[in-house]
Amino acid sequence: MTETMITYKTKFGVLYQGHVLDILKELPNESVDCIITSPPYWSLRDYGKQTNVIWGGDPNCKHEWILYNDKKSAFCGKCGAWYGQLGLEPTLDLYIEHLIWIMKELKRVLKKTGVIFWNHGDCYSSSGKGYGSVDPKYPSARNTRNSVRPNRSKIDIPQKCMCLQNYRFVLRCIDELGLILRNIVIWYKPNHMPSSVKDRFTAAYEPVFMLVKSKKYWFDLDAVRIPHKTENLKEHPLNHKDWENTEFNKRGKGAIVKPNPLGKNPGDVWVIPTQPFPEAHFATFPRKLVEPMIKAGCPQWICKKCGRARVRITKPTEEYSKKLGKSWHNHREDMVVGAGQKCDGGTTASYITIGWTDCGCNAGWVSGVVLDPFMGSGTVAVVAERLNRRWIGIELNEEYCEIAKKRLKKTIPKFCYN
């Protein structure tokens, strides 16, 4: 990685300014533990001419640019390269193709145990700006060497129809890249933007796609469990004869199942307000949205030698053990060597974290790495710093790089340096 690409460093991370593909190609294989990002949505926002870059084509071509009608982007009449902003492609096909190129690189740099959280909203087809729409002012593709790439897709979206840009992209990630979709988290925004439309309901949520590259991956659900409400702590009889009971209580048919004493699974609907940030001129990633992603998806301790992440070890408290009708004893002698880091993780006073597994290398520990390839105003970096995780940020827009740097300096001034 050249020093010209590095725009800012902190104790835990580094921010790179440049084309996301150029920088990703410089990162080593399987070097990232967690990816958290939100790409520019198609046909939504103009980030300025400074974010125009060349996509595809022949890097050795002496491009002959044919301006698109918006005068903000162009195709090369010789090699078919496109010059413009990610998100302002003339067709949805081309936009998704660019995202696929990026996701291929993200999959390469992600560890086999890694997790991707991909926040991606949608748009509506209108005024000819739909999936496969063709602008009559734009020259049609011809079957000649000097023609531009076709701008008509195989499928047209009717006007006023949702484009499903996010789901079309994720389906390609599954079908073509082999990624595994584990969750679609619904991020409900209680302070969502009002809408003047009268023939549909206001959009009040966005999906966050949780993708992995292997069936076995690191995930610490206990780190993000939320306290039970009193009424939820009651025992619930179950009549399913094939029910496989929990580790707490195995009584076969008609089992009585107790909720997890560490708290309940937060589920896939998260109610989190957007977080306005004046300098960015639009609502940014809220910190409360990013925090559970990092806690659950990025290890706090990884062996410097073998690269294995530590896993939480829990035990029931003496009080809870008596409720179960089981004898309580000191489980410390059962712990893996060196896992003696004690903490009060069990806020319900029923289970506590007594330590973390240890690979036995005795080489020391480093935190996992969080990557945001579309860093924007730097929320992922700020949260990663607060949670003592290493991070990598990539941002093309120089203005947003400056905003991110200011936020990081304000958040962790003693760690920051240029």
Q: Choose among 260, 285, 277: nearest CA to 375.
A: 285
Element (H, E) at 41: none
Mean pLDDT of 264-293: 84
Q: Kindly state whether residue 61 falls inside one of the protein's structural domains.
A: no
311 shares its domain with 293: no
359 and 371 both lie in a single domain: no
Would you state the pLDDT for residue 184?
Answer: 98
For residues 9-19, give the mean pLDDT: 93
Please tell me the total count of domains within the chain: 3
The CA distances from residue 302 to 358, 362, 372, in Å, are 10, 11, 20
Q: Are residues 43 and 123 in the same domain?
A: yes
Asked if residue 198 and residue 144 are part of one domain, the reply reads: yes
Mean pLDDT, all residues of the chain: 80
Same domain for 180 and 323? no
Please indicate, yes or no, whether residues 18 and 119 belong to a single structural domain of this protein.
Answer: yes
Give the pLDDT score at 328.
37
Residues 217 and 230 in one domain: no
Domain that holds residue 250: 226-259
Which residue, 330, 346, 363, sits at the end of a domain?
A: 363
Assign 289 to helix, strand or coil: helix
Q: Using one digit for the tens of pLDDT, what is the confidence trace for 76-113?
A: 999 999 999 999 999 999 999 999 999 999 999 999 99
Determine, yes or no, domain membership for 179: yes
Task: Please check whether residue 178 lies inside any domain of the structure.
Answer: yes
Quote the pLDDT of residue 249.
45
Q: Is there a single domain that holds both residue 342 and residue 374?
A: no
Same domain? 119 vs 239: no
In a shared domain, residues 333 and 405: no
Q: What is the pLDDT of residue 231?
A: 52
pLDDT at 414 over 60: no
pLDDT in tens, 167-209: 999 999 999 999 999 999 999 999 888 888 899 999 999 999 9
pLDDT value of residue 139: 37
Cβ neighbours around 171 below 10 Å, total: 13
User: Residues 29-58: pLDDT tens digits?
Assistant: 999 999 999 999 998 888 888 889 999 999
Tell me which DSSP letter residue 51 carries. Answer: G
For 242-265, write each residue's pLDDT tens digit: 344 444 444 444 455 566 777 889
- Taking the C-alpha atoms of residue 346 and residue 370, their distance in angstroms, rounded to an integer, is 26
Q: What is the pLDDT of residues 356-413, one digit of tens each?
A: 899 999 999 999 999 999 999 999 999 999 999 999 999 999 999 999 999 998 877 5
Percent of the chain having pLDDT more than 90? 56
Query: For residue 234, what are the contacts with CB-CB under 8 A and spacing of at least 6?
Result: none
> Quick one: which of 225, 196, 199 has its CA closest to 353?
225
* Span 206-222, average pLDDT: 97
Cβ-in-10-Å burial (0-12, 13-18, 19+) of 18 comes to: buried
Q: Check whether residue 353 and residue 386 sit in a common domain.
A: no
291 and 239 both lie in a single domain: no
3-state per-residue secondary structure call for 300-355:
CCEECCCCCECCEEEEECHHHHHHHCCCCCCHHHHCCCCCCCCCCCCCCCCEEEEE
Sheet holding 53-55, edge to edge: 53-55, 82-84, 74-76, 65-67
Smallest CA-to-CA distance from 69 within 175, 148, 12, 164 is with 148
What are residue 390's DSSP bridge partners?
Answer: 369
Q: What's the confidence (pLDDT) of residue 43?
A: 86
